[in-house]
Chains A and B, each alone.
Chain A
Amino acid sequence: MVAFRNTDTPGRTSGLLLRCVLYSLLALALIVVDKRYDHLGRIRRTLSVVTYPVQLAVTSPFEGWAWLRESVTTRDTLRADKVRLEESLRLAQFKLQRYDALEAENRQLRALRANTAGVGSRFLVADIMNFDLDAFRERALLDKGARDGVYVGQAVLDAYGVFGQIARVGQLTSEVILITDAAHAIPVQINRNGLRTVAVGTGDPGRLKLPYISTSADVITGDLLVTSGLGGGFPPGYPVGVVSEVRRDPAQSLADVEVKPAAALDRSRELLLVWLNPGAPAVTGPLPVTSATPAAPPKPPSASSENDE
C-alpha cells in the first residue's frame, strides 16, 4: 500500500514560517519588479538557459520523429505529389493564359464605360457573335435582339467611337451595319469648326469618305469628325473618325476627303447599344447585366425592315 515512509523526525520544522515568509516576499518582489520595471529580462533569460535543455530534450524526439517520417516518405507518395503539383501547375498556366485576354477585355470595358459618361441614356453591352456575314458588306451579328429591346436604327458605339447602327433585329440577335459599309451614311460635323456634312462608308474596312465637301471648305488632315446628332439616329458629340487625306482638284467642285474611323471596327468585341429616347432613365452606375430587359422598350418602327437606309 502506498504510504509515506516517515523518514522525517516528527516535531516542529525549524523556521518553516520564517522560510515561507522569506520565499513569499521574494516571489512577491519578483512579481512586482517584473511587472512594474521590466528589469528581469536578463534573469529570465538566464533561467531560460536552465530550462531550455529540458524543453529541448522533451521536444527533440517529436521533431526527430517528424524528420524521420519526412525522410522516409515512400516513392508512391512522392509520385502522387508530383502528379498533383504538375496538375496544379498546368491549371495555373492555363489561368495565366486567360489572364492576358481578361486584362485586354477589362481595359476595353473600362474604356467603354468611360465613353458612356455623356450618353445620358439607357445602354446595353453587346458582344459580337459573328463578323463576316457577307464578304462584300460590313456587317456584324450581335448577341442582343428584340428581347432586349434592340430596335432598327439604334446607334452602336464601341470604346473609341461610333461603330454603326442596327440594321436588322431578330429575337435574340441583331445585325449591325458598320459605318464603313458602302450602304451607310452618318451625319457628322468637324469638331474644329462645326462644319456639318455626311460621312459615307466605302465598303473598305478602315476608310470613310466625305463626298459632299466643297473644294473651298475648311477641312484639313487631322480634323476630328464627331456625330452631329442631326437626324436623331446617333447621340451627338461622339467621335466618328479623323480626316486622313484631303485631295482638292481645282477642276472639281467637290474635294475628295478620306476619313479613318475612330472606332476599332476590326478589333472591338464588346459594343454598346444606346437608347436615345428622352424618356429613358439615365444610367450612370455599373453596366447593366446581359439579361436586363428595358422597362419600356421602344418599338422598332418596322420590325421586319431589312435596312434603315
Chain B
Amino acid sequence: MMRDRRIRRLPMMLSAFLALVLAVLPLPTVLEAIRPDFLVLVVLYWSIESPRAGGLTLAFVSGLALDVTRGVVLGQHALALTLMGAWATHLRLRIRVFSVMSQCLTIFALLTGYQFVLFWIDGATGNPVTNLARWLSPVIGALIWPLMLGVLSKLHER
C-alpha cells in the first residue's frame, strides 16, 4: 500500500512542477491572454484520478505557489484550488465515465468556479480586476482538457 502510493506520487509531483513551469513561462502579451491555467488543470486531473494520493494537499500547495509567483494576496489561489479540487474529487466517479465532451463541460464549470473565487477575493481585498479576458480562460482550459488528459494518462502509465 505504501509503495503503491509512493509510485503514484512521482508523476503527480512531476506534472505539477511542469505545469508551474508552463505557468511562469514568459509569453508575448497576445499569448499571455490565452494561456491556459495548466496547473489548475493538472490539479483537477489528479483530484479526479487519485484523490487518495493527496490531491487536496497538492491543490493547496499549488495554489500557494501560484500566489507567490503571481504576487497576489497569499491564499487566493490556494482557496480557489482547494474548493475546486474538493468539488472535482466529489464528482470524480461521474466524471470518469463521462464522454470527453461532457468532461470538457464539467471542467469548464470547475474553471469558471475557480475564476469566480479569484474574482470574489480580488473584489473583497480591494483590487477588483474588471478585465473580461479573465472569463476567457475557462473556455481555453476546457478546450485544452482532452490534450491534458491524454498527456497526463500517458505520464501516469509510466
Contacts and interface: CB of A to CB of B under 8 A. Distances in A.
Output the residue of A4, A9, A13, A47 with the most chain B CB within 10 A. Answer: A4
Interface string A20-36: 10011011111101110
A20 B83 contact: yes
Interface residues of B, number: 47
Given A2-B149, A26-B60, A16 B68 contact: no
A31 B49 contact: no
Contacts, number: 114
Interface stretch (A49-57, A113-121, A226-234): A49-57
Contacts of B100: 2
Contacts of A33: 74
B74 A16 contact: no
A43 interface: yes
A292 interface: no
Given A3-B153, A13-B52, A55-B69, A27 B79 contact: yes
Contact of B125 (A2, A7, A35, A55): A35
A28 to B, nearest CB: 6
A10 interface: yes
B56 interface: yes
A51 B82 contact: no
Contacts of A7: 8, 49-50, 156
B121 A31 contact: yes
Contacts of A29: 75
B74 A40 contact: yes
Nearest to A30: B75
Interface string B4-29: 00001000000001001100111000
Given A13-B52, A30-B75, A23 B60 contact: yes
Contacts of A19: 56-57, 86
Contacts of A74: none
Contact of A44 (B8, B51, B74): B74
A44 B70 CA distance: 11
Contact of B74 (A5, A8, A20, A31): A31
18 contacts: A2-B149, A3-B149, A4-B49, A5-B49, A7-B49, A13-B51, A13-B89, A16-B56, A16-B86, A20-B86, A23-B59, A28-B79, A31-B74, A31-B79, A34-B73, A50-B65, A50-B68, A55-B69
**Which A-B residue pairs are the 3 nearest by beta carbons?**
A30-B75, A27-B79, A20-B86
